[in-house]
Amino acid sequence: MASSSTDEMVPTPVKIIVAGGFGAGKTTMVGSVSEIPPLTTEEVLTEASAGIDDLSGVERKTTTTVALDFGRITISPRHVLYLFGTPGQARFWFMWDDLARGAIGTIVLVDTRRLETSFAAIDFFERRKIPFVVAVNCFDNAPRYTADEIREALVVPDRVPIVMCDARDRDSSKLALIRLVKHAMTVVPAPV
């Protein structure tokens, strides 16, 4: 049966995860690139999280994602990316399995002020064999490192792309997404 022109106009949804440590800029990235007002589950940090959430390096952070962030961006008439940002604190990681289900790939957002917070996300996606790129969020006044230095520090294999970005900037975030989609297309087998 031949497809109608209406069928051809319905874009294919593509699920992307934006993950990383607490305060890495996941909510910011989803918001900067989304063509719709993003859905966020940001809540104010309270005294109850004292001693639970490590604010070292992000002392001025006042809110946190408690479930997910959601945004959408149309990359072509045939493809729409649905972006799901993960919560960063360990106490919310139980949600990552559900959020990652069906994703073609992940942007692991890295903050050079707190590189150690990136290991859990990298390990999570490596173990599940979900393609990912490492996107270094270039915060103002944060230490600058080359892609090779980041790769060595995070023990990331050569096959994993590393990109520098500014999660606040729409064009920069779009470039990171494009790099992820291209990478995922090279490692995920095409449907038969």
pLDDT in tens, 38-52: 887 766 655 655 555
Cα 51 to Cα 82: distance, rounded to the nearest angstrom: 34
pTM of the model: 0.83
Cα 69 to Cα 86: distance, rounded to the nearest angstrom: 7
Q: Provide mean pLDDT across the span 118-142.
A: 94
pLDDT at res. 87: 85
- Each residue of 151-162: pLDDT tens digit? 999 999 999 999
| H/E stretch holding 69 | strand 69-76
pLDDT at res. 61: 58
Terminal CA-to-CA distance of the chain, rounded, Å? 18
Domains of the chain: 12-42+66-187 (3.40.50.300)
Determine the 3-state secondary structure of 43 from DSSP. Answer: strand
pLDDT at res. 19: 96
Top pLDDT among 92 and 37 is at 37
Cα 83 to Cα 129: distance, rounded to the nearest angstrom: 19
What residues have CB less than 8 Å from 69, skipping those under 6 apart? 18, 26, 27, 30, 31, 38, 39, 40, 41, 83, 84, 85
Radius of gyration of the chain (CA): 17
- Structure tokens belonging to residue 8: 């051809």
Q: Provide mean pLDDT across the span 54-69.
A: 64
- Structure tokens belonging to residue 109: 């957002």
pLDDT at res. 156: 96
Cα 45 to Cα 140: distance, rounded to the nearest angstrom: 23
Residue pointed to by tokens 């959408």: 72
- Structure tokens belonging to residue 24: 């890495």
Mean pLDDT for all residues in the chain = 85
**1-35: buried (b, 16+ CB within 10 Å) or exposed (e) per residue?**
eeeeeeeeeeeeebbbbbbbbbbbbbbbbbbbbbe
Top pLDDT among 110 and 7 is at 110
- Structure tokens belonging to residue 95: 């949600």
Top pLDDT among 72 and 54 is at 72
